[in-house]
Structure 1
Amino acid sequence: MSKLPHIGTSIFTVMSQMATEHQAINLSQGFPNFPIDDRLTSILAKLARENIHQYTPMSGLPSLLDKIAVLTQKSYGRNVSAKEEILITAGATEGIFATIQALVKVNEEVIILDPSYDCYEAPILLSNAKPIRVSLNNDFTPNWEVIFAAANEKTKLIIINNPHNPTGKMWTENDFIQLEKLVDAYPNLLVLSDEVYEYISFEQTHISVHHRPKLWQRSISVSSFGKSFHITGWKIGYVIAPENIMREIKKVHQFLVFSVSSIAQHALNEYIDLVEVKALGQFYQQKRDFFSRLMKDTKLELLPCEGTYFQVASYANISAENDLDFTKRLVTEYGVATIPISIFYANGNDNKCIRFCFAKDDETLTRAAERLRRL
């Protein structure tokens, strides 16, 4: 008998398979199609010949942990303990899974804000806990009245994602003030902050839980080297949490993977000294603006994109089809693969929107837009 009976093949796999079958341009899955930094390639090639291929310590390579602490202080002004409060994980997904498994007990509740990424719910269900799915407003901002109504003494976690996948929206100062009020109201409530796109923000400055001293002892943040450095296939990220919470997360982590790829950690340990992470937002803003200009001649309406490398578009003035059928038709008839937004909702809410990934080279984006102009 399945422990996750309602979970089948993910929409990301389905759309990528359809893209291959129909030779479509794949703007569905969230990964870049351009090369990684030559400096990182050179570091990797050099390290391949060195004696760094055995296990690293369970928490991570000590020198890399130190550099993450420096990066956190430089980016957010927060001092964290490299030894006690940081954990290198096998991607952000493992960090999220380990956190939920470590902290959430039977019959406790976890608030998820929909539309939401699909890796949040499974570890909650595997903990025999209850996911509480709360929809964002129509403009994808948090509805604090509904969130407060959903919280109670059994609520162990609220999962936030900022900048937000799939919508590209970002939280405001007021959103964090409301979050702090929620945490104050429920002393046992913790915040799991998915910040994998933290360095991909545009006109609006990204606000992190690391900016909020009131949240430091009640928050777990999850970051992704894969997203920040265009190396999604390396599956490497990190978690930051106060020592008492991190102790519990490490207990689960050691039995999931024990330690993370040694060569990846050593490579990032050298590369992090060479790269300016804040330039990442400028790089992807150029991508966003380029894609936006290309799409002006289509019938699709682009919604505001404040961060991430995802662009949501409405097709409401083109078709009355549900978004899953529309995205499948985009692949079969127009040769472009996207993701329907309804799959990010527990209730399947269909607002006639689809998600594009614009982390692609200019040629790919140009060819996709040419096809979409035929809509």
Structure 2
Amino acid sequence: MNDVVAPLFSVICPTYNRSAKITETIDSVRAQTLQAWELLVLSDGSDDDTDDWVLRAAHQDPRVRLHRVERSGHPSGPRNAGLALARGEFIAYLDHDDLWRPGHLKALLGMLRAGADFAVTGCTYHDADGAEAAEFAPLSAFWHPQLQLLGPMFEPSRAAHRRGVVERVGGWRGGVGLEDWDLWLRVADAGYTFRTVVEPTAALLMDVGTRRNRMPRPHRLPLVVLDDARTAHGLLRELRSGRHDESFRAAVSADMRDWYRRMDDSGALVRPLDWNGDLDDEIRRVVSGEVKLFEELVLVPDRGRYALARNLLCSRTEHAHRAARLVPSVQPRVLRLVRDLAEDGPGGRTGSSDQAQLLGP
């Protein structure tokens, strides 16, 4: 099996100064039940002993290949270099601090062989000590173009696609972060088919030091504009007081149910292939347990007044504008509640949600 010339999967793993820890990631690939793979470890100018550890693994298993690239400090460059070297029919990604369970590639292959262009599995999240850091909700394995537009879905270590898909939409791009979200959105815009499962075949590191948690949030969607800073701060304090949590959770739940029904009625909502739960029950569970109310709200000066705005995590202005145009139709009840609270206080001014202008650089 080690002499396979044309592997089914090319696994692309960018790394930088991971040292001996890289062997855990490599070993998780070597332990796959599906053995027709090559592992391309792209060392992004590592200046410690990472390359030595990769070479030791390559000596033990020639399917492991080390390639050094000039230091870029961003995973997009190494991933593009890996795509140029890949020989597999399918491409899978593995970040150097994540691990796969033995059935990961087999689960991806099942979806790709069934006709998907892009396949994603479920995962678990752990911290640096190995303890569970967050729950994986089945709802996060649903897919629709609108879901892809509004949320940073599908970490690379969960995903695989047919060879050539990424190159045809322009490859991996650099930026301040969330390059995976940017790429998957372009893949969705190109009309490629997505399939998912809930089965947790990847173990992902969730740490405050990751780039996603450090990236700036330059774009904001204004919800209401108020006359002065005192009024704006008063509204924000009122929202965060907890007195309105019940009504806002009910609004979030109702908005989500309506949105998911519309997406389902369109025929484009992708449900996980291995999940047969009740969608309304899952929405209620997520809203009651995981939605953080008002966490992303900020106050922003706006032409002499103050906007209460929601941070948009999008890294590109065009993406943020598209998201801002969609939000009013997705969360009408939530936005109406915010505007009603603003109008109850002195100095508030609200406008139609269609007229909201995106705040940003």
Name the TM-score class by shorter chain: under 0.3
TM value normalised by structure 1: 0.23
- Return the index of the structure with the highest Cα Rg: 2
**Structure richer in strand, relative to its length:** 2
